[in-house]
Structure formats: structure tokens, C-alpha cells
Amino acid sequence: MSEDKEVKQWKEKLFYRPKNGYDQIDAEQTGEIFAYAEGYKRFLDAARTEREAVKEAIRMAEDAGFVPYTFGMELQPGAKVYVNNRGKALMLAVLGEQTLDHGCVIAGAHVDSPRLDLKQTPMYEDSELAYFKTHYYGGIKKYQWLTIPLALHGVVALKDGSKVTVRVGEEESDPVFYITDLLPHLSQEQVTKTIAEGFPAENLNLLVGGIPVKDDDKDAVKRGVLAILNAKYGITEEDFISAELEAVPAVKAKDVGFDRAFVASYGHDDRVCTYPEITATLQTETDQTVLCILADKEEIGSEGNTGMQCVLINDLLNEIAKSYGVNPSVLREHSKCISADVTAGYDPAYASAFEEMNAGFVNSGVTMNKFTGARGKSGSNDASAEYIGYLRGVFAKENIVWQTGELGRVDLGGGGTVAKFIANMNIDTVDMGVPVLSMHAPYELISKADLYTAHKAFSAFVK
């Protein structure tokens, strides 16, 4: 053996180097990766909001034989059930043949994404233009939401208990909505401000109409728009008080690049983990018990009765434990969870925001974040070495392409996920998800290879 070859072999044995996913797969797998991405793109276009994601997930689950569960129902091994939490969050459960003394496997992702919610009194007219006022939801860079087509999705709940569903801006023939920006010619003051000062939230107002009703001098445009809404949905201005209407980018998911390596879309965070989690759960043939959680309100701290902090998951675990005759504390103690959420992909255009040795690289596979949080890991779930060691074994057995990473350079910022709320229940939990470029932008970017490795990794986990 030549000396060079020997050195190379030693390095291969001893060094850890994340590799490009495409270097580790064959042509057949490339076909699978691309085919899988087509299903994901359809999911993205159907599921623009948390409510629509839950609806779409239920449709997929029912096709796979899942039935709705209500508390008190018996849970037999072999059953496949789902719990629909107020149409905004969902849990799928596959009840295994195995006893639950050694716990179950849990995958948790979230289905809400940053967006612009309508205020409860949203409507006004100024200079004969009708607008809806918005209140942003989640962490956004406000200027990114100006001058792009926006669609309106959501529900209006009426006093009589009925509910109107709204979805405008997605069909080719639909109108869209629009937030204006100042022309560069007159922006000398705007461009010298900081980004935080230059784009106040109270300027994020959707243009929704411009034709005045004849013979009416005040608020004639607003009246015209309200008349259209009344004819179409039977609602009046007061009904917005009990509405949840969300403005989201009216742009479909698209392949990016001549080689179509990437998918750009609204809402990759966190549908790019939600979708693989659902497909892994629906396809599993395990004899273990699997729980797939699709949570709401992650982007604002997992609060409320549809967020991950709600006791509902614990209630379901208690019911499962009861059905199997197992102490629920023992079930939780031995359960394992992957908190499936996106991470920041290394972006060479903003290299200084990352620390290259510990960044998640796009195309190098689904990325594990041992911890999240900010500064000194504040607010983080910091998974144990033992649990990560266990998962390395699971992934090695199935030849999963994956990498380790952390969300950007230390001291620059940070973030959290649902991981800590699941871990708080005495469940081993680690964050793992697809690296995203331009995270939280109206149109985010992911790699098809990373998406597919997420499906493979979650499938190995629930096997």
C-alpha cells in the first residue's frame, strides 16, 4: 500500500466530515428524491395555514386507514387513530403490538408559520383606498412582506355557531392582496433609517379595494368591499371580531435551479418536517407505538390549547398507557422523541453568521441540533449524549445521510422549538430537521435531498 493511500484510509476512519448527500447516493435514489419532492410540493400548495395543514394531514391519514379518536374509546394494538385539536393541531397514533413498558416513539413538528393575521377590527378607508390592518404572527423581517402577492386564508365564526371558510388568492383567476412600499425616488429618509425603524408594523396594511359605491361620499370604497363580502360570505364588519384570517404569500412552490436541486415555497418552516413526519408515520409497519404530533403556535412560544404546552398530549399518553395496562410515568420515562423542526442552513452569502464546523449544510442531509436556545444555551432543550448515541446507532443501521449542526454562530441570536416542552414530560427529545435558507422569509428555500433524508431518518426512527 502506498503511503498516501494509508494516510487517506486513516483519515477516513478517524475524521468526521459531513459530505454532500448527492455524493452518497446512486441514480435510483436521485429519482426517489425528486419523486418524493413532487408530493411535498402538492402538500405545500394545499396546506398554506395550520388549519389547512391539519385538514390535509387528516385526509392523508384517513386514506391510510386512520380513524378519529375521542377520549374514552378503547385503544387496541393495531389501531390507527387521530386526535383533531380544534382543527389547528393534530396527533396521529399507531398502536403497536409491543408492550409499552419500554415507551413509545414520538415525532413532533409544527404546522403554523410566520404570517400576517388580520386585526379584529381590520377595515378602514384612506384617500379612497380600502385596507385591512394586520398584526404579524411570528418572527418576520417586515420589509419582505411588501410588494408581493398575498392570499387570505381562514375562518369567520358567526354568532349563530356557523363558520365561514375563506380562501382567496390561490386560484389562477383569484385576486390577490398587496402591501405597498415607497418608490426609491422618494426614499431618502426611509433608506437612512434602521430596518427596524424603516418598516413599522402599523404600515403592514393590505390593499383590498378601490371602487367607490356611487352616491355615497364617505367610506364609499369600504362600503363597496363590505357589500362584496356580504354577498359572498354573508358577513358584516362586526364579524371580523370572531375571525382568524391570515395573509400568506400567494406564490406556489417551485423548483429552483437548472438542476432543480431545491424547492422554494412559503411555509417550509415547518412543513418540510411535517410532511416527512406524516409519510414516515403512515408507512410504518412497526410493532412499536408511534405518536406523530402536528402542533400549532410554535412560532409564538407553543402557547395556548393548540400549542405544544397544552396538556392534551399528556392526556393521550395517559389513555394509551391505561389501554395497555402500563403506568403512564413508566411509558413517558422510556419514550423517545424527535422534535422535527427546521434549522438554519449555512449560507455562503452570510458566512459570518455561521461557524462552519458546526453549521448545517444544504444538501448534506437532515440536521440534528443537540441543543437550540440563545447565548449560553438559554431556553434550550439540550439532548443527552446517551440519547444521541442511541440515534446514531439507529441511523447507521439504515445508512441515513444526516449531519449535526447548530443554529448559527454563538452570541448572534438563537431560537427554540417544541423540544423542551416534550422533554419536560420526562421524554428523551432531540431536535432534528431540514436546513432552510432564508428561513421565515415569505419564500423560503430547501434542498430536495435534505427533505428526502428527513423522510428516511424519521422512517428509521419509527421503524
Residues that bind Mn ion (CB under 5 A): 269-270, 341
Residue closer to Mn ion by CB (options 174, 303) is 303
**Length of the chain in terms of residues written:** 463
The crossing angle, in degrees rounded to 10, of helices 448-461 and 268-283 is 40
Residue closer to Mn ion by CB (options 205, 372) is 372
* Pairing status of strand 150-157 against strand 163-168: antiparallel
At closest approach, how far in Å is the CB of 142 from Mn ion? 16
DSSP per-residue string spanning 233-289:
H---GGGGGGEEEEEEE----EEESTT--EEEETTHHHHHHHHHHHHHHHH---SS-
Residue 175 neighbours by CB under 8 Å, 6+ apart? 168, 169
At closest approach, how far in Å is the CB of 337 from Mn ion? 15
Q: Cell 406564490 belongs to which residue?
A: 251
At closest approach, how far in Å is the CB of 110 from Mn ion? 6
Residue 218 neighbours by CB under 8 Å, 6+ apart? none
**Is the Cβ–Cβ distance between 460 and 390 less than 8 Å?**
no
For the chain, the helix, strand and coil percentages under 3-state DSSP, each to the nearest 5:
35, 25, 40
At closest approach, how far in Å is the CB of 37 from Mn ion? 20
At closest approach, how far in Å is the CB of 300 from Mn ion? 10
Which amino acid is located at 103 in the chain? G
At closest approach, how far in Å is the CB of 112 from Mn ion? 9
At closest approach, how far in Å is the CB of 296 from Mn ion? 12
Residue closer to Mn ion by CB (options 270, 277) is 270
Asked if residue 347 has a cis previous peptide bond (ω within 30° of 0), the answer is no
Cα separation, 416 vs 419, whole angstroms: 8
At closest approach, how far in Å is the CB of 270 from Mn ion? 4
Q: Cell 415555497 belongs to which residue?
A: 265
At closest approach, how far in Å is the CB of 417 from Mn ion? 6
CA distances from 416 to 135, 183, 301, 302, 337 (A): 22, 37, 8, 10, 16
Q: In what order do the strands lie in the sheet with 254-256?
A: 254-256, 262-265, 444-447
At closest approach, how far in Å is the CB of 415 from Mn ion? 7
At closest approach, how far in Å is the CB of 407 from Mn ion? 11
Which amino acid is located at 459 in the chain? S
Phi–psi pair at 31, nearest 5 degrees: -65, -45
Residue closer to Mn ion by CB (options 229, 247) is 247
Residue closer to Mn ion by CB (options 40, 240) is 40
Residue closer to Mn ion by CB (options 341, 347) is 341
Return the H-helix or E-strand segment holding 110. strand 105-110
Query: How would you write 170-194 as a 3-class SS string?
Result: CCCCCCCEECCCCCHHHCHHHHHCC
Cα separation, 384 vs 193, whole angstroms: 45
Q: Which three-class secondary structure state does DSSP give residue 56? A: helix
Residue closer to Mn ion by CB (options 270, 428) is 270
At closest approach, how far in Å is the CB of 108 from Mn ion? 11
Give the Cβ contact number of residue 151 at 10 Å.
Answer: 23
